[in-house]
């Protein structure tokens, strides 16, 4: 016999009420847990995807769109820029590395990116099978693409114009899969990589003879003087901190191009997302508050029924303090169970979402990681339990046992 | 075992009760006889340490109760006194065995499961041990309540109206049972009652009259 057994039996003797309280608190806790897990993993993902890219240079438009499209591959391109203008920026002495990006086509929802080997290298992409693309129309695909579209080595496919499935197909120019990358947990997993030339080729822009002239810095197969070629954007890494001060000003002020900073735009994105998170947090807070109230009412009501139990316990030698602790423990045990249920529910929901969603719908969040904030939730729930139980416990502490026992 | 001297009790409403001086020897049985409202339950609660002594002296098992306070008094009560209340209240969330085990646990004594079996055997309710309290009859509940009062081997059993709601036959049976188990466990028995039928079984009695 111990207090825990007693308290547990008290909770068991009111199964519906106990279940209601556990579910109420569990729902609130689950929402908070999901928020914590998602915001952690979203931040991690945004950080890994934007890491090492100091500036994105593209056509004028929304800077956030530029970032979303060229780094996270979720929005549409802002337009095209001239290759020779991009070349000029790449040649700036403040630029350490510049990676060209040619976007706009896709295959069954997965984006085709015309770029250079430096892009895959930047994200630590490694081959699982085959080789990197070399000739035009050769592609190396991300691990998630290979899995979801069931594309194997040397498979061929026709790309679609645009980033959705309803764009017209580029029937005349099939791509061939030359390699499949190992998973990287970055955007690379969901991309189809090819050369910039392939993108031009699909759009029937055959290279003019560039023999004899200086080759382009970004795409060496064409002449630096060629003014017809276009790409979507340029991912820039600064040589020094000076780049951060000067380059955006030069680009935004002196050229027809736009420069956007991933760090600044993602911070802005978070502050916009923050509003949604705030609303959800408020919702969770209301749920938790209601459950706290419900636990308080349950304990308070059960105390009325248990006045005699408490008097008997005192007559058997229990001190006031022990009676006080018994009720406190009941509140704490209840919130502890509710909180554990909520943590499991939160992680379980994320896990099931990830397991049963089809590949294209995968959010990439895993329910299997536990974060330190969840310890704070647990500690907070125990505190909440003691607070809810405080008034009933105090009443039990003060009860006049003789009066209770002599009432017929 | 019990010595009561010059004991007075003043209720919050202002009524004052004076109790007669009396004493009960170890191992004996005694009735506190009085009508409803005469204050016999109050006296029982004072002797049991549930109510504080305001004036006078009560010595139980060699200890002056006035000198005991708070947790020390609670512990003294748990170790030395077994209560049987009129309502035979059991903790309904627990089984019969768990109810009995609560007594040594709350008194801070060693919890001895064998002792539970022995007591249940003495009271002829060994088969109820693992039943929920909801599933036993009133008569059985009273036996469990008696078992609970005895489990800690108290020096003194205080019973408040244990028979007043019973018919003659059951009244006789219950008071015999109380006397038997008290003798078996070497307890002193003090019964507060207005039930005149008990006089024929327990000869020693203290009349409590509201003055």
Residues A169 and A79 occupy one common structural domain: yes
Nearest Cβ partner of B107 from A13, A316, A405? A316
pLDDT at position A221 = 82
End-of-domain residue from the set A260, A292, A307: A260
Q: Given a cut of 70, is residue A397 above it in pLDDT?
A: yes
A301 in any annotated domain: yes
Residue A348 lies in a domain: yes
From CA B20, how far away is CA A340, in angstroms rounded? 60
Q: Which residue range forms the structural domain that includes residue B162?
A: 2-207
pLDDT score for A273: 82
Distance CA A390, CA A319 (A): 17
Q: Are residues A218 and A288 in the same domain?
A: no
Cα B201 to Cα A15: distance, rounded to the nearest angstrom: 46
Q: What is the pTM of this model?
A: 0.79
pLDDT per position as a tens digit, A207-223: 555 555 677 888 888 87
What is the per-residue DSSP string for B89-129? ---TTSBHHHHHHHHHHHHTPPP-HHHHHHHHHHTT-GGGT
Shared-domain flag, residues A33 and A161: no
Task: Tell me: do A370 and A304 sit in the same domain.
Answer: yes
E-state strands within A204-270 = 230-231, 233-238, 257-260
Among all residues of chain B, which has the CA nearest to that of A11? B93
Mean per-residue pLDDT, A332-343 = 95
Burial class from Cβ neighbours inside 10 Å (0-12, 13-18, 19+) for residue A134 reads exposed
Domain end among A238, A260, A282: A260
- A-interface mutation test, from B76, B91, B141, most A Cβ less than 10 A away: B91
A88 and A213 together in one domain: yes
Average pLDDT over chain A reads 88
Does the CB of B73 have a partner CB in chain A at under 8 Å? no
Structure confidence at residue A212 (pLDDT): 54
Tell me how many domains chain B contains. Answer: 1
Query: Domain for residue A265, yes or no?
Result: no
Quick one: pLDDT at residue A248? 92
For A61-93, write each residue's pLDDT tens digit.
Answer: 999 999 999 998 988 898 999 998 899 899 999
Task: Let me know whether A117 and A245 are in one domain.
Answer: yes
**A256-307 pLDDT per residue, tens:** 899 999 999 988 888 888 888 888 889 889 988 999 999 999 989 988 888 9
CB A322 within 8 A of CB A4: no
**Residue-level pLDDT at A362:** 55
Do the Cβ atoms of B91 and A406 come within 8 Å?
no
Whether A123 maps to a domain, the answer reads: yes
Check whether residue A73 and residue A35 sit in a common domain: no
User: Do A230 and A278 share a domain, yes or no?
Assistant: no
pLDDT bucket at A363, cuts 50 / 70 / 90: low
Mean pLDDT of A24-47: 89
Any domain includes A220: yes
* A195: number of Cβ within 10 Å: 24
pLDDT reported for residue B4: 93
For chain B of 211 residues, list the mean pLDDT of each consecutive stretch of 10. Answer: 91 87 92 88 93 92 92 93 90 92 90 89 90 90 92 93 87 90 91 91 86 58
Domain count of the fold of chain A = 2
A10·B41 Cβ contact <8 A: no
B168-184 vs B138-150: helix axis angle to the nearest 10?
A: 20
Greatest CA separation for chain A: 113
Residue A187 sits in the same domain as residue A302: no
pLDDT at residue A152 greater than cutoff 60: yes
Q: Identify whether residues A181 and A233 lie together within a single domain.
A: yes
Q: Are residues A12 and A92 in the same domain?
A: no
* pLDDT at position A365 over 90: no
Q: Which CA distances in Å does B111 have to A354, B71, B97, B184?
A: 51, 19, 12, 20
C-alpha dist (Å) from residue A146 to A128, A129, A150, A366 = 11, 11, 5, 20
**Domain with A251 in it:** 55-260
Shortest Cα–Cα distance, B105 to chain A (Å): 7
Among the ranges given (A160-174, A325-339, B49-63), the one the predictor scored with the smallest mean pLDDT: A160-174
Does some domain include residue A266? Answer: no
What is the share, in percent, of chain A residues with pLDDT greater than 70? 95
d(CA A76, CA A62) in angstroms, rounded, equals 11
User: Maximum Cα–Cα distance for chain B, whole Å?
Assistant: 49
B189 - beta bridge partners?
A: B29, B157
What pLDDT is attached to residue B61?
A: 92
Q: How many residues does chain A have?
A: 408
- Report the C-alpha gap between B4 and B24 in whole angstroms: 9
Task: Give the model confidence (pLDDT) of A110-148 as tens digits.
Answer: 999 999 999 999 999 999 999 999 988 999 999 989 988
Residues 6+ apart with CB under 8 A from A379: none
In contact, B157 and B182? CB cutoff 8 Å: yes
For B177-210, b/e burial (b = at least 16 CB within 10 A) is bbeebbeebebbbbbbbbbeebeebbeebbebee
- pLDDT higher than 90, residue A56: yes
Q: Is B165 on the interface with A (CB under 8 A)?
A: no
CATH number at residue B11: 3.40.50.300
What's the gap in Å between the CA of A316 and the closest CA on chain B? 5
Q: For the segment A10-33, what is each residue's pLDDT rounded down to a tens digit?
A: 999 999 999 999 999 999 999 999
Final residue before a domain boundary, out of A260, A287, A303: A260
Instruction: Find the helix or strand (DSSP H, E) in which B137 lies.
Output: none
| Residue A342 and residue A384 in one domain | yes
| C-alpha to C-alpha distance for A206 and A138, rounded to whole angstroms | 16
Tell me what pLDDT residue A343 has: 95
Q: What is the least distance, in Å, from the CA of B78 to any CA of chain A?
A: 4
Percent of the residues in chain A that have a pLDDT greater than 90, as a whole number: 52
């Amino acid at each position: 016999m111990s207090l825990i057994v007693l308290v547990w039996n008290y909770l068991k003797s009111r199964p519906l009420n106990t279940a209601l309280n556990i579910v109420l608190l569990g729902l609130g806790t689950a929402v908070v847990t999901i928020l914590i897990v998602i915001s952690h993993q979203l931040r991690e993902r945004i950080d890994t995807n934007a890491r090492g890219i100091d500036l994105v240079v593209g056509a004028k438009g929304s800077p956030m769109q530029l970032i979303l499209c060229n780094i996270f591959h979720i929005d549409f391109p802002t337009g095209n820029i001239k290759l020779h203008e991009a070349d000029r920026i790449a040649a700036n002495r403040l630029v350490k590395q510049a990676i060209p990006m040619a976007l706009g086509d896709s295959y069954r929802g997965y984006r085709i990116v015309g770029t250079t080997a430096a892009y895959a290298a930047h994200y630590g992409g490694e081959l699982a099978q085959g080789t990197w693309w070399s000739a035009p129309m050769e592609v190396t695909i991300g691990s998630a693409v290979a899995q979801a579209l069931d594309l194997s080595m040397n498979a061929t496919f026709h790309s679609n114009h645009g980033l959705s499935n309803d764009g017209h197909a580029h029937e005349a120019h099939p791509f061939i899969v030359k390699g499949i990358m190992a998973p990287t947990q970055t955007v690379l997993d969901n991309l189809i990589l090819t050369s910039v030339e392939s993108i031009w080729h699909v759009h029937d822009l055959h290279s003019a003879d560039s023999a004899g002239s200086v080759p382009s810095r970004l795409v060496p197969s064409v002449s630096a003087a060629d003014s017809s070629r276009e790409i979507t954007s340029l991912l820039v890494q600064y040589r020094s901190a000076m780049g951060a001060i000067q380059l955006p000003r030069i680009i935004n002020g002196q050229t027809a191009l736009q420069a956007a900073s991933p760090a600044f735009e993602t911070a802005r994105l978070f502050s916009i997302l923050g509003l949604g998170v705030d609303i959800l947090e408020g919702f969770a807070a209301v749920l938790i508050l209601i459950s706290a109230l419900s636990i308080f009412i349950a304990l308070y009501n059960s105390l009325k029924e248990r006045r005699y139990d408490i008097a008997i316990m005192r007559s058997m030698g229990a001190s006031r303090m022990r009676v006080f602790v018994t009720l406190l423990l009941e509140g704490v045990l209840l919130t502890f169970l509710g909180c554990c249920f909520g943590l499991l529910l939160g992680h379980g929901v994320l896990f099931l979402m990830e397991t049963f969603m089809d590949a294209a719908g995968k959010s990439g969040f895993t329910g299997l990681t536990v974060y330190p904030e969840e310890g704070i939730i647990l500690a907070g729930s125990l505190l909440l339990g003691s607070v809810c139980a405080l008034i009933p416990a105090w009443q039990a502490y003060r009860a006049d046992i003789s009066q209770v026992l002599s009432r017929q | 075992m019990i010595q009561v001297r010059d004991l007075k009790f003043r209720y919050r409403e202002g009524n004052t009760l004076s109790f007669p001086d009396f004493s009960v020897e170890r191992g004996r049985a005694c009735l506190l006889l009085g009508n409803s409202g005469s204050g016999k339950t109050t006296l029982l609660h004072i002797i049991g340490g549930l109510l504080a002594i305001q004036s006078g002296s009560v010595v139980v098992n060699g200890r002056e109760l006035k000198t005991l306070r708070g947790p020390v008094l609670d512990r003294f009560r748990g170790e030395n006194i077994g209560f049987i209340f009129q309502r035979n209240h059991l903790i309904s969330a627990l089984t019969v065995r768990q109810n009995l085990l609560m007594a040594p646990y709350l008194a801070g004594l060693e919890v001895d499961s064998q002792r539970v079996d022995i007591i249940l055997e003495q009271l002829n309710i060994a088969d109820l041990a693992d039943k929920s309290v909801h599933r036993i009859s009133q008569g059985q509940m009273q036996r469990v309540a008696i078992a609970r009062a005895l489990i800690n081997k108290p020096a003194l059993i205080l019973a408040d109206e244990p028979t007043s709601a019973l018919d003659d036959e059951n009244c006789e049976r219950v008071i015999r049972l109380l006397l038997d188990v008290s003798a078996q466990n070497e307890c002193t028995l003090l019964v507060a009652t207005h039930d005149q039928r008990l006089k024929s079984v327990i000869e020693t009695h203290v009349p409590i009259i509201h003055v």
